[in-house]
Structure 1
């Protein structure tokens, strides 16, 4: 098959889900640190950290939840390793989990709707800050100004997604340094106002404490679980790149800033009214620094949503919509912008954040568990050119285009998660019976992983070995791996 040439920084990337040939792959895994750090040096982290204190947790309890919840970035890192192995996007690799047709169904939810919702969530955070700055500069408070700020932030973000991989790698290296400097300065001012002896007015105990800890873990962990797109940027690394290095730099790049700045949000909430995070933080910052802080918030959102829009455009192509990558970016951007306008003009920001972060894990948690389980079962042996074949009877067509192991596992995990989720919008029956304790993440991921492993083994759809001459990663049933001495084990990618 023909392949498109890699793009350069400063030029729009035309490549979509097409296979990245070995000779076009450059870079080293350590570059992934900055790629993942820039989106997670985040204003939204301040808001999420403050939420833990507003829920009634003590500082040690909040910090413990932050440290534990962010460990789920390890799963994001592990899944990223499939990118160099396959040489294509995560939305194509997932055909191995769900089948060619089944994958399209799953991507409509995980690749479009949830991606659009995350675009809206992050744009809402930046827009709240940007609208405040516009009013500070004398612009009138009106729906028209609010809409203009939202559309401006969205437009800059979509430019990043349009320019793509090479620009993201170059730009995010600089942004990670700039954003870290700004947010460290914010941290210094926050630390000067922290009540280190803080205790909640009504300390939580027993079931109430368990419920707050469970909800907090779900809120913190949901961000890492939303990044099943981590192979999209790693696919440009050489096939021989260390799996440990890819997983480590991805996970550490996201984990470190997430832990630090979410903790700062929790510390700030000991003395500040973080129901309005921007207004609260501005009370401890010098006046001259407030515009710098707001601009940093906007830049962070551009970095975060730039990656999301980039991957969502690939998901649109993977579903089979006949759009080039750049028009696909514009489609997903329009949907996210519409959702942002609705969220800002209709709903309370902090309530929207918490509810969404708790609800999306119903699908993202099981989907991440399935991706990790498949990678382990295949030992990261994926073949991009085979994954890109969609014809009936192809290697990932399975039965009728559906891989029932993945689809049943996803539904089972989602059902388990729904039964255990606890939000103001919905509380599952098992969570209710347990006094409101939210175990949506461990329940959903655990059930999905076990179901996928068990059903795939029973159906024999995950290969253990391959026929001689077969491309690395070519699917065969377990039965077929026992039919002759011509079978051999492929070299590790």
Structure 2
């Protein structure tokens, strides 16, 4: 296993390797972690009983996973990272807009997950949380520095450990569940739809970097195989972890507010240390992906402004820089600030939805996977400047969601009228697709007509 030498450049055919089934373990492990469990608690906090919480969790992940997995299928076909593909839709300069938002999101999730991993490590090693944050993030930096192959290998083997732990946790919770006496909760469609949106959004957050982990696969890897293994790994793991979170909120509402400590205690005295270490390993599994995607997005952004030929040392410098910023935010934000920052990150998810829609419509319905790779890499003017059609569709897709949003930072008037139901992401997907597809279809038809006339 060698240190990865590529960053945002094209992966040539002779360096392609691996099987699509490796995507199952990377996305299973990425979701088999404490942040996913904590997200599942929201289904109960927002007013659902356990039965409807489980249903909403599964539906949300099934829906959101569709878009996430179709992004993954782009990797083998194009051989470049996910976000640099945006140049084909937005233009080399125009793609900076979604890139900046994605960078903020990466660093935010990296920082918040690091705090949870540090709490687990601190509990078992009796270190300060600050020192534990530094250890967690150094481990992520080392993993990402070596790169793609080590990340895949790590996720493959820790998946086995995660299955064992969470099967044990599941059995323990099932033992307690029959003895829980809870007050019947009336069903509200608004809460049900809101939970579906949150769970679907969880899957959509992976869209900006999911193809990063399939781009080394051979070019003849089928869309079906790439989609299938990515979808199963992510949806199964996310749904399982979130259901555990919902169960914890029913069994022990107060104790589960500190989910790290609750899972360690639930494991029992003999498994306390092991559980804490595995929670740390789970955070490392997702934070390696956050850091890997973050440094490549920073590189892509800078490369749009000034041509970069990223050397091994420059690659390491980018990784260290993004990791250092995330670590600083984690240390400074151990209290209320990090909670507010996390709310801000959740709001950013609505800005990812139109990008997802535009990218998928362009790839599957307009260009059908046929792109000028040299143009994407900025070596010719095929995608230079700004594509106004994409920018306009993106802005409309963001703005149209605001009346439908229901977050701690903003609740739209339509969401209020719907008693808190949030369907903003659905509206954003379809509206941005419509406003991108029509002008681009007309533009492509005009270009085709000119070409035929010249012939």
Q: Same fold (TM over 0.5)?
A: yes
> CA offset at residue 153 of structure 1?
0.4
Show the counterpart of 1:104: 96
Show the counterpart of 1:426: 410
Q: For 1:35 and 1:93, how far apart are their aligned partners in 2?
A: 22
Cα deviation 1:412-432 (Å, max 9, x = unaligned): 111122221112222123222
Show the counterpart of 1:157: 140
Show the counterpart of 2:373: 384
> CA offset at residue 121 of structure 1?
2.3
**Correspondence 1:413 to 2:401:** no
Q: For 1:342 and 1:396, how far apart are their aligned partners in 2?
A: 40
Which runs of structure 2 are paired with 1:92-131 in the superposition (5 Å)?
Answer: 92-110=84-102, 112-131=103-122
Which runs of structure 2 are paired with 1:388-467 in the superposition (5 Å)?
Answer: 388-391=377-380, 394-397=381-384, 401-460=385-444
**Correspondence 1:50 to 2:37:** no
Q: For 1:123 and 1:258, how far apart are their aligned partners in 2?
A: 19
Cα deviation 1:378-433 (Å, max 9, x = unaligned): 21223423311255xx1112xxx111222112111111222211122221232223
Equivalent position SS for 2:369: coil
- Are 2:18 and 2:217, in contact at CA under 8 Å, matched by a contact in 1? yes
Q: For 2:119 and 2:191, how far apart are their aligned partners in 1?
A: 27
> CA offset at residue 197 of structure 1?
7.1
Question: What is the aligned counterpart of 1:210 among 184, 189, 195?
Answer: 189
Equivalent position SS for 2:447: coil
- Are 1:14 and 1:326, in contact at CA under 8 Å, matched by a contact in 2? no
Equivalent position SS for 1:380: coil
**Correspondence 1:180 to 2:180:** no
Show the counterpart of 2:239: 259
Q: Judging changes above 3 Å, is the alpha-carbon distance between structure 1 residues 419 and 325 closer, same or farther for their aligned structure 2 residues?
A: farther
Show the counterpart of 2:268: 286
**Correspondence 1:77 to 2:69:** yes
- Are 1:218 and 1:361, in contact at CA under 8 Å, matched by a contact in 2? no
Q: Judging changes above 3 Å, is the alpha-carbon distance between structure 1 residues 69 and 78 closer, same or farther for their aligned structure 2 residues?
A: same
Equivalent position SS for 1:360: helix
Q: Judging changes above 3 Å, is the alpha-carbon distance between structure 1 residues 318 and 99 closer, same or farther for their aligned structure 2 residues?
A: same
Q: TM-score, normalised by structure 1?
A: 0.84
Equivalent position SS for 1:288: coil
> CA offset at residue 357 of structure 1?
6.2
Equivalent position SS for 2:209: coil
Once superposed, what is the RMSD of the aligned Cα atoms? 2.2
Q: For 2:331 and 2:438, how far apart are their aligned partners in 1?
A: 44
> CA offset at residue 22 of structure 1?
0.8
- Are 1:193 and 1:268, in contact at CA under 8 Å, matched by a contact in 2? no
Q: Judging changes above 3 Å, is the alpha-carbon distance between structure 1 residues 483 and 81 closer, same or farther for their aligned structure 2 residues?
A: farther
Query: Structure 1: which 4+ aligned runs deviate by more than 4 Å?
Result: 196-199
Show the counterpart of 1:373: 361
- Are 1:52 and 1:62, in contact at CA under 8 Å, matched by a contact in 2? yes
Question: What is the aligned counterpart of 2:59 among 39, 62, 68?
Answer: 68
Q: For 2:219 and 2:448, how far apart are their aligned partners in 1?
A: 26
Question: What is the aligned counterpart of 2:318 among 328, 334, 337?
Answer: 328
Q: For 1:429 and 1:341, how far apart are their aligned partners in 2?
A: 37
> CA offset at residue 326 of structure 1?
1.8
> CA offset at residue 435 of structure 1?
2.5
- Are 1:126 and 1:298, in contact at CA under 8 Å, matched by a contact in 2? yes
Cα deviation 1:299-346 (Å, max 9, x = unaligned): 111111111211221111211255632211112112221222233133
Question: What is the aligned counterpart of 1:226 among 199, 205, 211?
Answer: 205
Gaps in structure 1 of 5+ consecutive residues: 1-8, 140-144, 464-475, 487-493
Q: For 1:414 and 1:162, how far apart are their aligned partners in 2?
A: 35
Show the counterpart of 1:38: 29
> CA offset at residue 18 of structure 1?
1.3
Q: TM-score, normalised by structure 2?
A: 0.91
Q: For 2:449 and 2:181, how far apart are their aligned partners in 1?
A: 62
Q: For 2:452 and 2:203, how far apart are their aligned partners in 1?
A: 39
Q: For 1:368 and 1:298, how far apart are their aligned partners in 2?
A: 30
